[in-house]
Chain A
Amino acid sequence: MEKLEYTFAAGQPAQGRSVTGVVASGDLEVLLEPGAAGTTTVAVQTSVDGYGGNWTALLERVLGPGTLPAARIEINDNGATPGVVRMRIEQAFEEVRS
């Protein structure tokens, strides 16, 4: 099991919180809460070791642009593919918007 942490520039604080996904095999849970304006933090707990590079690349693609609301994000991952990870993160932000 591996823990990873990231920080990204972001916009205004997210307008709510959401929880999406389940820590099932091949899936992940994403908790999203408002962050301090301008900063998004991501704490990842993953059952698969050695994929730090992949996580960095994926989160960089999603959060790197800095246009999403500032959030405190926790990810509890049980071996999801990058596609599923991206889907759940986008879902997490969408749940807050709606």
Chain B
Amino acid sequence: MMEQLQTTRGAMWLRLLTGSAPALHDWPAVRVCDAPLAGQPARWIAVVPDPDNRFPRARNGEVGLVEGWQLAQAVQETIALDRDAPLKRPIVAVIDVPSQAYGRREEAYGIHQALAGAAGAYAQARLAGHPVIGLVVGLAMSGAFLAHGYQANRLIALDDPGVMVHAMGKASAARVTLRTVEALEGLAERVPPMAYDIRNYASLGLLWKVLQAANPAQPDEQDLALVYAALEAALADIRDAPEHGLAGRLQGPHRAASRRVRALLETQWEAAD
């Protein structure tokens, strides 16, 4: 089989950040490799396109049935590797995923369960004490992001028009909400959580850091140094933190309602028991 030239950001950033470390599996779409972070062994994972995917609806980098379960297996293996280790190795999810795979095969064979495998494994790794860091270098869309990255202790994103986080592509979102794409884009300008760009996303308080890489599509040495420094800082921050949950995402001004609900639940939880 001819080696395909991988040009997606996810593939490129994984290769550069790991110094072209060899893949641990011969999985075409899920790249898993070992490379140091802050001088410690770390596992790095990215989802990349597999144009020859057995599943025809998962040939452009989507997270499909096989990709979801392979992500799960990769993370489970990492947990098993360090089960008796006092210090758990970091797991870096390099994120550039256009969406989940959309297709009849996918629904029939339960793609929702495959993505649950991935999300669950990342969450279990985090709970076991592995520092999980999500680095968004391109797209981070809906189910694919839930499966690969959204369970991270810390989320870092590059500040770039090519970096986007959202729940659904514009055309489908327009169809489902019975609006035009233009109307949706207009709403996105007034309603921050509906926006597609990374600056509006950052305003929601879910990201730990946003990085100004000079050339996110073709990073130079300075860009790599910037990202390494952020990853190392995230690692230190996670190791310092007393707990392994996602509470760090609740601080932003646009999450006031999320905080208020939790406070109210806590107040009422024990009352009159």
The answer to A–B direct touch (Cβ < 8 A) is no
